[in-house]
Structure 1
Amino acid sequence: MTGVVIDPVLIDRLRGDLSAARFGDEALTALWGTDAAAALRRGQRVPALRALRAADPLSVLAQFLMLGVAVPRHELAAALPSLGVDGAIALGLAEAEAHLVVPLLELRQHSFVDSHGVGAWWIVSDLGETATGGPLREDHVLGVGGASSTLSALMIPLPVDTALDLGTGCGIQALHASRHARRVVATDISERALDLARLNAALNGVTNIEFRLGSLFEPVAGERFDHIVSNPPFVITPRLGDVPVYEYRDGGMVGDELVEAVIRGAAGHLTVGGVAQLLGNWEYRGNTSAFERITGWLDAPPEAEPLDAWIIEREVQDAALYAETWIRDGGTTPGRKFDDLLDVWLDDFATRDVRSVGFGYVTLRRPASAPTLHRLERLSGPLGHNPTGLGAHLADCLAAHDWQSTLTSDDFGRARLIVAGDVTEERHYWPGAVDPTVMTLRQGGGFGRSVPLGTALAAFVGACDGDLSVAAIVAALADLLDADERALRAELDPRIRDLAATGFLAP
């Protein structure tokens, strides 16, 4: 495969041609329609190809850059008038084959909205299996996938001096981090991934990212960062038999050791107050909960700084389903080869008595003194509506936790709280009943949490309009419910604090 070349002049010409052709999500959806766009997201390109009958620049670029179709040389030359066919070949985007030009890379627009506003980048990556028609190469560099989008949405957007993108791949997380960090360091074990990430940064005019080759934290030994983000190669792939190992997803370690290594290594590379965010898989072995094992990973050795930790598990798959999912992800379809690979995966899981595998989000923070946050929870329901991502919500929750952790019981009692604007309450009644049988507090944003309510807590939340203190509301409720005030306060306090920590209530 032709190497990627970082030529500023050619990259500027490519950028100009893409802009002139309006090569982006909005124009392409208008070109082939919403149904074809939805099919592309499912990995099906035929509806889009059927819609492209003309040889206008946008249609030619869509076929060539997005759908992986070879096009006549004269058509590509017209679609890239500034770069030209020779320029595309020189950059490593294409190769000539008789009168056709064959794509070697994929280029798509990644559109997003974050706390800094609306944005879009052109992202170059390797051709997917839809274009190649077969299994992926082991050194495949993935574009913006579901996990990438998940992590970028989770990224806390607070301004920082330095950020680290550990295992940058095509560079998408480093690009997102560049919007709130003065300087970003992006690392990867793959030189090819770094080349594509450099190309993407240059193509989008982002200049505050430094790229380094190496595994895990080796390229940043002795350095600390205000923000670490990582979509590591966390897939649990067997080290047995003839199993393909894809650099973009397989970390080369046994089981979930790579995620453990990132979690354990973060402490030594965070500044005080610095935050690390990553995605990960973890194994459920025997009858042991994965959270018990993760707690062990969080136990820092004596020489390391202990961290605040917030782990959210989003999904658990049984071992067979997990293996099937990732065998298909590599481009192997059901058949004899698929069955052989599945057998090897299940043999590998059996060596560690793995029954299932969890997936989730990890947020770690280096506190100024002793850790105060240790929250491990399972949230498998739909996420709330977050127009600019979950990162701002996470930042608000961390700030709310810090605020509470400094308050004594009396101090908290003097606080005045209000209900967040996205919170609603549901009540369900038996037909003809006066009192509700079920009351639930729901969060429209954030993680879309739902909290069951008793009579006292529902009345408390209903009174949180900022006029009365926590203690005053509880006192009034105790009188109304003919309850002991001290006992009611002891019952409600942890529930109220949790509602504040998770974004239902705010000071």
Structure 2
Amino acid sequence: MDLTPARALATDLAAAPFTDAALKARCGDAAFAALTRADAVPARRMLERRGDDPVAVLARLFVCGDAVPAASVAAALSSTGLEGAERAGVLVRDGETVRAALAIRPHVFSDGADGWIVSDLDELAGVFPLRPDHVLGVGGAGRTLVAMLPESGTGAALDLGCGCGLIAFELRRRGFSVVATDISERAAAFTRLGAELNGLDRIDVRVGDLFAPVHDERFAFIASNPPFVITPRSADVPAYEYRDGGRAGDALMADVVTSLRAHLESGGRAALLGNWEDRDGLAGLDRVRSWTQGIGAWVIEREHLDPVRYAELWVRDGGMRPGTPAHDALLTAWLDDFEARGVTGIGMGWVQLTEGSALARFERVAQAVDHGPLAAHLDAAWETDRVLAGLDDDALDAAVMQVAADVTEARHHLPGAESPSVIELRQGGGLARVLEVDPALAALVGASDGDLPVGVLIGAIAGLLEVDADALSDDLRPRVRELLFTGQLAIADGPRG
């Protein structure tokens, strides 16, 4: 793949302008939404009516995977030219028509800037089953990991298993210099081309397995959407590079997590997506706990699937259609593998690690979460963990609290009852937690308006409830610490007497 024409190609894409907004304007809301569901038919109908409009031509070529008249493509890529685009490896000519050799799709980065992501053509373009070295574009997992990245940073960052380069591009845009690695030569080539198209320097792309390309290097931040899919080790089961790391069960995930510490700077952080098995009577989260000894860990299981549902998910992900012999054979192979190894369930979620922290938090958070403000929430939680580590009980009692603006209280009464049977604190942002509390904690949160210290409030509440103040303090302090970590309370001021 010749990168020399990449800047001219970027000029043509920008001039069209080949952006999400422009594509949506040509397709209409409903057809554009269908594209996100891998259905190109509605968009194709609208784009064909646009004739030689550059956005329509480029979308038909690089999004829908259509054969497009060569003259139309030459006009849309006037700076690059058809020969330049061929040298770059992005299209192939077939007589009077042109087809894309890969997908180039508009993307809006988290800072609002327009750009492009290079990947392989997929089911949206009618490609199935996928090739074993398929390079995935932007999907739900990638968007989730983007939301987990720090809002800004300096120093070196590692994108482990870079795929199409989305995470590397986001890390660079947030201020890091980036090393991006992948075992796939094809993924590395796509990441290099994507970096050129988006005008991003200081992204060093290397090929190799896991940490091999960076064996003696340390980073301020490591991000990874590794090939964590649990796949039967059978010659009859396709091994897709973008999702299958070639290990049995969740061994690849264990390798990544246990190896990370050696590559983090002091105070460095990591964010990963992953899957883990419930196996031989041991819950997956407990198995992950054993992988994180010696490093601060916050692991969130977002979803839990039984073996049948998990197998169905990934067989279909490879383009196999239910009811076909190929689909049924693969599903059987997955279920045989799970049964043979004693797997009863599979957890899917997030792993966050911080070198130098003592945090050990393993939880299930299944509710829907707004990814927009997630990065700020996660950054604040890790900072709060650092503060809490140096905050003894006396300092906590002297601290003044402020309830977060997104926290509301819900009280549930049985018909005719004077007192509530259930009191809940509901978090509007963050991880959208709903916490059932007792009257004492509800009173403390309700009175946390940035005025009086925690110790004074607990004393007053103990008097109102006619309970021992010391016993109430012992009960409430750890729960106040929990509310601080989860972002439902914040320290509003320094200690007061």
State the partner residue of 2:18: 23
Deviates more, 1:308-317 or 1:177-186: 177-186
| Equivalent-residue separation in structure 2 for 1:393 and 1:293 (angstroms) | 26
1:166 and 1:188 in contact (8 A); partners too: yes
| Equivalent-residue separation in structure 1 for 2:75 and 2:63 (angstroms) | 17
Deviations 1:71-123 (A, max 9, x none): 0111111111111222221111111111110111111112133xxx4223211
Instruction: Tell me by how many angstroms 1:293 deviates.
Output: 1.2
State the partner residue of 1:484: 468
State the partner residue of 1:337: 326
| Equivalent-residue separation in structure 2 for 1:414 and 1:308 (angstroms) | 27
State the partner residue of 2:494: none
Which amino acid letter does the alignment assign opposite residue 44 of structure 2?
L
Which amino acid letter does the alignment assign opposite residue 470 of structure 1?
V
Q: 1:358 aligns with which of 343, 347, 371?
A: 347
| Equivalent-residue separation in structure 2 for 1:461 and 1:263 (angstroms) | 37
State the partner residue of 2:92: 95
State the partner residue of 1:374: 360
Instruction: Tell me by how many angstroms 1:437 deviates.
Output: 2.4
| Equivalent-residue separation in structure 2 for 1:366 and 1:95 (angstroms) | 48
Deviates more, 1:134-143 or 1:427-436: 427-436
Deviates more, 1:433-442 or 1:196-205: 433-442
Q: 1:297 aligns with which of 280, 284, 291?
A: 291
CA-atom RMSD, angstroms? Answer: 1.2
Instruction: Tell me by how many angstroms 1:448 deviates.
Output: 0.8
| Residue 147 of structure 2 corresponds to residue 166 of structure 1 | no
| Residue 101 of structure 2 corresponds to residue 104 of structure 1 | yes
Q: 1:412 aligns with which of 396, 416, 422?
A: 396
SS at match of 2:450: strand
| Equivalent-residue separation in structure 2 for 1:350 and 1:445 (angstroms) | 40
2:285 and 2:301 in contact (8 A); partners too: no
| Equivalent-residue separation in structure 1 for 2:417 and 2:12 (angstroms) | 68
Which 5+ residue runs of structure 2 have no aligned equivalent? 492-497
Alignment of 1:307-456 (within 5 A): 307-334=295-322, 335-367=324-356, 371-383=357-369, 385-387=370-372, 389-456=373-440
| Equivalent-residue separation in structure 1 for 2:142 and 2:219 (angstroms) | 21
Which amino acid letter does the alignment assign opposite residue 456 of structure 1?
A
Q: 1:243 aligns with which of 237, 241, 250?
A: 237
| Residue 29 of structure 2 corresponds to residue 41 of structure 1 | no
| Equivalent-residue separation in structure 2 for 1:494 and 1:502 (angstroms) | 12
Deviates more, 1:450-459 or 1:80-89: 80-89
Deviations 1:14-47 (A, max 9, x none): 1111111111111111111111111111111101
State the partner residue of 1:228: 222
Which 5+ residue runs of structure 1 have no aligned equivalent? 300-305
How many residues in Structure 1 have an aligned counterpart in Structure 2? 488
SS at match of 2:350: strand
SS at match of 1:82: coil
SS at match of 1:178: helix
Instruction: Tell me by how many angstroms 1:386 deviates.
Output: 4.8
| Equivalent-residue separation in structure 2 for 1:28 and 1:426 (angstroms) | 43
State the partner residue of 1:85: 82
SS at match of 2:113: strand
State the partner residue of 2:449: 465
Deviations 1:306-331 (A, max 9, x none): 21000000001111111111011111
Which amino acid letter does the alignment assign opposite residue 231 of structure 1?
N
2:19 and 2:115 in contact (8 A); partners too: no
